[in-house]
Amino acid sequence: MYNSSKISIAITCAIALLFSAAALAGPKTSYGLGVTPTKEEIALWDIDVRPDGQGLPIGKGSAIEGEAMYEAKCASCHGSFGEGEGRWPPLAGGENTLKDDRPEKTVGSYWPYASTLWDYINRAMPFPAPKTLTVHEVYAITAYVLYLNDLIEDDYVLTQDNLAQVKMPNQDNFYADDRPDTHNTRCMNNCKKPKDIVIVQSLRGITPEQEEEQEQGAAKVEEKAKPTLSKNALAGEAPYKQSCFVCHGSGIADAPRTGDKNAWASRLKQGTPMLIKHAIEGYIGDAGVMPPKGGNMNLTDEQVTAAVHYMLEQN
Amino acid sequence: MSKNKISGKAYLAELANNVPSNARRNFLKQGVKFSTGLVAAVASNEAISGNSTALDVPSWSKSLGSGVVSTPYGIPSKFEKNVIRRTVPWLTADKISSISMSPIQELKGIITPNGLVFERYHAGSPTVDPEQHRLMIHGLVDNPLMFTMDDLMRFPSESVIHFLECPANGGMEWRGPQMEALQFTHGMVSCCEWTGVRLSTLLDEVGLKSKAKWVLAEGADGAGMSRSIPLDKALDDALIVYAQNGEMLRPEQGYPVRLFNPGWEGNTSVKWLRRLEIGDKPWHHREETSKYTDLMPDGRARRFTYEQEANSVITSPCPENPWGSRGSYQIEGIAWSGRGKIKQVDISLDGGVSWRPTKLKGLVLSKALTRFSLPYSWDGAPALLQSRAIDETGYVQPTLSQLRKVRGTNTIYHKNSIHTWQLLSDGKVKNVQLK
């Protein structure tokens, strides 16, 4: 494609020159490029939602319905009460902390609009499998997160018509950019008294070492192992990268790291079928929560099985 | 349904300033182990003349090198291995929604090589097939259109040199200095030549309705990154970019096509761009409410803080580029402003008591990195080095105290204050702040 388009660029450049000269003179240029999408095609892509509710699809859901969905697809990272597991972001709490020395910005304490929550869950969550939730799930889970923040009752049914009416506590506390807000001047001499200067040294011990860490990432491990992969495991590479790497690549959420022999040794004793069962159905172990299919219910059992083989062959 | 009251818990995901104690332990290993081979070699002339082998005819002068296309896509010399992007692992929960910094301490001139441009992903860097990729423009327009990459490349193109900066650049240091490395204090900035179509050209093609005021830009990545852009910017200098520094965009930079808003916070320049919707109001999406808003001391927050205000930093010396022997040096650095050209950069050696003007070097372009330098003969005296940029609007880069006075320490974004390096008499450089 790129060869052909390079040539066409060279040609159109010359033509475009003629065109723009003409454009100066009068009517709008039209390059005649692109196609007109149908209404259906636009609707398929047009997923955004605004504070006034524009863009919401017809649907509904309550926190009561959302609890189990949230528990299965969100709680492993965001915590059962929205408190945030490990380093993952919390989704609730932090009321009245915005003026504190350490403010806690959450959906309840900071977000100005409920529509943003619907829109974001729909476009970006669950993190390992974005855009896989049904409209009903998005309504129900949104309701559940609002409920966790004490913003609606658990039996309140959120719909396309009432979402915009959920008033967020912090809505009125945002204002437009009013910078520049500093007014330094270009002083050249005697700008301050040398004796007033106090030097604050940097915190010790938090600058990353510059050499090893980055190179030892899971990506490296994978590359090394690749040539010896079985056919089964090869098929698992894509689903692994899409839905398992997020936890098993880094060991986040206390997931056993792919390629970390020690972490897997005792697990292997259960036998591969049990590991596969755990990966497909999910389970809670001593280390933490392994969500069913890593939270991506769109994966087939075969894909998850292949992903497990892929993981095991990295050891 | 059971529900507990949630106990307070700091949210670390973006650029919070608190460091988890276990991460601290991991990084207790200190030291400027990464200073470059180059500096070590040039640092002392005595070492070279004292070393007889440097005068011998070297092996590479007595043999043949590798032939053409031994690396069909060229790579840097193996002696430049340390010139790489780096991340700060404790900043984010994982590497998929995370950030890496450009090694600006090693770069020359104003162009950042493509492989070294800083990265910021919210759902990793996707592999987008250009044949399948489409850009749709719809909403308050007369004729919605959908373009292939081939279509986009048939429009008249422009090439411009502009910086790209994450508004969180420097954001780790609102409360105090933390990072003993320029790469980590200022490395979320890069500068490239960007090639693409003016967004205004495409908006002409679709025809704007009279109510049109805002543009929603949306990416094709897992995060579906979305930002509301005022129409004025879209019609002013925004570009739909498909190439950087002469080649197609790198995947990290939005291959095959991204929005580019010159001078504005990096995440408005939505990568892997697949959709532009024209509307009459902003969308207030997650990346312009929960994130990329600036929490002020009174508990209120600024939003749509698009512009990157004038900033500058000294790149030599810096913690990674210490000075060796006494004698001649060039104090050098970079300055940039999202509001236009850099007009002047001043340097102070005494922590801001007195200042001297520097010379701007090479190209001085609007909304682009601009180099400054000052020849300096070092006698081993310790110094508190600072640079202060002034842009063509007359805006003078603020001190940290001035910034903190208005904004407190919890805004995370847009920390563009004058930076201080402490030069010690042994030539080492430390990251400090002045009260």
- CB pair distance less than 8 Å for A175 and B300: yes
Q: Is residue A275 part of a domain?
A: yes
Do A282 and A165 share a structural domain?
no
Do A237 and A160 share a structural domain?
no
Q: Reply yes or no on whether the pLDDT at B24 is more than 60.
A: no
Quote the minimal CA–CA distance from B61 to chain A in Å.
Answer: 31
Domain that holds residue A302: 228-312
- CB pair distance less than 8 Å for B434 and A200: yes
User: Which CATH number is A88's domain given?
Assistant: 1.10.760.10
Q: Which residues contact B299 (CB under 8 A, 6 or more apart)?
A: A98, A99, A103, A173
Q: Global pTM?
A: 0.82
Q: In the prediction, which pLDDT does A212 show?
A: 42
- CB pair distance less than 8 Å for A36 and B144: yes
Q: In the prediction, which pLDDT does B44 show?
A: 44
Report pLDDT digits (tens) over A185-202: 999 999 999 999 999 988
Q: Is residue A297 part of a domain?
A: yes
- % pLDDT > 70, chain B: 88
Q: Which residues contact A282 (CB under 8 A, 6 or more apart)?
A: A72, A289, A290, A291, A292, A293
Question: How many domains, in total, are found in chain A?
Answer: 2
Query: Which residues from chain B sit within 8 angstroms of residue A36, using beta carbons?
Result: 143-146
Do A233 and A296 share a structural domain?
yes
Q: What is the bridge-based pairing of β-strands B359-361 and B356-357?
A: unpaired
Out of A37, A105, A194, the one facing B350 most closely (by C-beta) is A194
Handedness of CA A190, A192, A197, A200 (dihedral sign): negative
Report residue A7's pLDDT band, with 50, 70 and 90 as the boundaries.
very low
Q: Is residue A77 part of a domain?
A: yes
Q: Reply yes or no on whether the pLDDT at B393 is more than 70.
A: yes
Phi (first) and psi of residue A125, to 5 degrees: -125, 160
Do A158 and A51 share a structural domain?
yes
| DSSP one-letter string for B366-393 | TTS-EEEEEEEEE-S--EEEEEEEEETT
Name the domain boundary from A151, A173, A195. Answer: A173
Q: Is residue A190 part of a domain?
A: no
Residue B301 to residue B407: CA distance in whole angstroms:
10
Please report, to the nearest 10 degrees, the dihedral formed by the alpha carbons of residues B246, B252, B257, B262 taken in order.
Answer: -80
Do A51 and A169 share a structural domain?
yes
B284 touches chain A (CB under 8 A): yes
- CB pair distance less than 8 Å for B344 and A13: no
Q: Is residue A212 part of a domain?
A: no
Query: Which residues from chain B sit within 8 angstroms of residue A4, using beta carbons?
Result: 150
B6 touches chain A (CB under 8 A): yes
Quote the minimal CA–CA distance from B173 to chain A in Å.
Answer: 9
- CB pair distance less than 8 Å for A119 and B33: no
List the domains of chain B with CATH numbers. 1-33 (no CATH), 87-302 (3.90.420.10), 311-432 (2.60.40.650)
Residue range B230-255: mean pLDDT, rounded: 98
Start-end of H helices in A172-270: 212-215, 218-225, 231-239, 245-248, 261-268
Report pLDDT digits (tens) over B267-308: 999 999 999 999 999 999 999 999 999 999 999 999 999 999
The residues that bridge with B372 in the sheet, in sequence order, are: B333, B360
Q: In the prediction, which pLDDT does A29 show?
A: 61
Residue B264 to residue B238: CA distance in whole angstroms:
10
Do A275 and A156 share a structural domain?
no
Quote the minimal CA–CA distance from A213 to chain B in Å.
Answer: 9
Query: Which residues from chain B sit within 8 angstroms of residue A98, using beta carbons?
Result: 295, 299, 301
Q: Is residue A233 part of a domain?
A: yes
Q: Reply yes or no on whether the pLDDT at A148 is more than 50.
A: yes
Quote the minimal CA–CA distance from B329 to chain A in Å.
Answer: 22
Query: Which residues from chain A sit within 8 angstroms of residue B106, using beta carbons?
Result: none
Query: Which residues from chain B sit within 8 angstroms of residue A92, using beta carbons?
Result: 6
Do A166 and A233 share a structural domain?
no
Preferred mutation among B3, B203, B233, B318 to probe A, highest tally of A CBs within 10 A: B3
Query: Roughly what angle, to the nearest 10 degrees, separates helices A231-239 and A301-312?
Result: 110
Give the residue among B259, B146, B244, B155 at the shortest CA–CA distance from B201. B155
Q: Is residue A244 part of a domain?
A: yes
Q: In the prediction, which pLDDT does B361 show?
A: 96
Preferred mutation among B92, B232, B286 to probe A, highest tally of A CBs within 10 A: B286
Q: Is residue A79 part of a domain?
A: yes
Residue range B209-217: mean pLDDT, rounded: 98
